[in-house]
């Protein structure tokens, strides 16, 4: 689909400018996002930059962002939902972060089953882009705003080695704590404070990432439209599974744009065990 190609190419082309613009934008902004989190200046800047680029594409009908309350109506066409700078809290410590994008063929908010493609750009030592569409996942390196294929048909390794769990351990529900203790005996901890980097570890080495529902926040922390659905779509396209504890993240029916969801994604066997434990 030509519009999907254009959206993905636009996100890739924006990556060097966004990455280069992080310098000098490590301070906090004076506003909160719709989820009540203090925004970084970089969050606001990346959001505004991507809005300008993506809403200008013919065939994009809606634009929504984790950093703004309402959907922007652009006309008719596909709906684009973004987390412009996932992991922006890592700016202070200069750790990984990036951009997440979900492309839906229905108005927002939408179920993950309505995705036609999703992707993330990871600002690590090099800038990479992972794209899921048509049932497969491709990894690219971004050089001068252009995508160069690195790996086609990305799949989760059969022998998983890493895990990363978010939230404070004392706030984990008892059933999840028991599951986590078993996983800790089998896998190596890889948790960097940015879901985008942690999920990339799972895609690379196999394993499980989770930000469960907490005792203090049963609904979880991560946003379904902007984080949960796109990442679940990538993991499932790579042969893994996703779950909110009971069903695939992609099957969760959204009630509002900024809805949160418990998120567990990774190798199918590890997610099967999680659902049995909860």
What pLDDT sits at residue 106?
A: 98
What pLDDT sits at residue 238?
A: 99
CA-CA distance, 77 to 45, in Å (whole number)? 25
Question: Is 66 annotated as a binding-site member?
Answer: yes
CA-CA distance, 211 to 86, in Å (whole number)? 14
Contact 230, 249 (CB under 8 A): no
Residue 37, pLDDT above cutoff 80: no
Q: What is the CA radius of gyration of the chain?
A: 17
What pLDDT sits at residue 6?
A: 98
Residue 111, pLDDT above cutoff 90: yes
- Identify whether 156 is part of a domain: no
- Identify whether 194 is part of a domain: yes
Question: Is 88 annotated as a binding-site member?
Answer: yes
Mean pLDDT in residue range 125-137: 97
Question: Is 276 annotated as a binding-site member?
Answer: no
Range of the domain at 36: 2-151
Question: Is 227 annotated as a binding-site member?
Answer: yes
pLDDT digits (tens, 9 = 90+) for 158-196: 999 999 999 999 999 999 999 999 999 999 999 998 999
Question: Is 221 annotated as a binding-site member?
Answer: yes
What's the structural domain count of the chain? 2
CA-CA distance, 151 to 125, in Å (whole number)? 18
Predicted structure pTM score: 0.95
What pLDDT sits at residue 90?
A: 82
pLDDT digits (tens, 9 = 90+) for 264-277: 999 999 999 999 99
CATH of the domain at 245: 3.40.190.80
Question: Is 89 annotated as a binding-site member?
Answer: yes
Tell me which of 125, 151, 177 is where a domain ends.
Answer: 151
3-state DSSP assignment of residue 2: helix
Give the containing element (helix H, strand E) for 180: helix 174-184
Question: Is 35 annotated as a binding-site member?
Answer: no
Question: pLDDT confidence of 212, banded at 50, 70, 90?
Answer: very high
Query: Which are the contacts of 222, defined by CB distance < 8 A and separation ≥ 6?
Result: 195, 211, 228, 260, 261, 263
Question: Is 104 annotated as a binding-site member?
Answer: no
Question: Is 50 annotated as a binding-site member?
Answer: no
């Amino acid at each position: 689909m030509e519009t999907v190609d254009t959206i993905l190419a636009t996100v890739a082309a924006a990556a060097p400018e966004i990455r280069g613009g992080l310098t000098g934008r490590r301070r906090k902004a004076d506003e909160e996002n719709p989820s009540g989190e203090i925004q970084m200046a970089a969050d606001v800047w990346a959001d505004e930059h991507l809005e300008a680029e993506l809403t200008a594409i013919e065939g994009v009908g809606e634009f929504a962002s984790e950093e703004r309350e309402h959907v922007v109506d652009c006309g008719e066409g596909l709906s684009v939902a973004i987390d412009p700078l996932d992991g922006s809290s890592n700016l202070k410590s200069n750790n990984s972060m990036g951009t997440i994008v979900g492309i839906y063929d229905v108005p927002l908010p939408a179920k993950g089953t309505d995705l036609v493609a999703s992707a993330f750009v990871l600002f690590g030592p090099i800038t990479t882009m992972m794209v899921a569409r048509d049932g497969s996942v491709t990894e690219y390196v971004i050089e001068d705003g252009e995508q160069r294929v690195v790996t086609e048909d990305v799949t989760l390794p059969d022998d998983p080695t890493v895990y990363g769990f978010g939230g404070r351990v004392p706030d984990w529900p008892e059933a999840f704590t028991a599951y986590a203790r078993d996983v800790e005996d089998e896998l190596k901890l890889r948790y960097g404070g940015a879901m985008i980097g942690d999920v990339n570890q799972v895609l690379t080495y196999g394993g499980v990432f989770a930000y469960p529902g907490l005792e203090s926040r049963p609904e979880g922390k991560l946003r379904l439209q902007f984080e949960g659905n796109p990442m679940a779509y990538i993991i499932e396209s790579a042969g893994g599974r996703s779950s909110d504890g009971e069903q695939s993240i992609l099957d969760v029916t959204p009630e509002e744009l900024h809805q949160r969801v418990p998120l567990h994604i990774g190798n199918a066997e590890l997610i099967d065990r999680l659902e049995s434990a909860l």
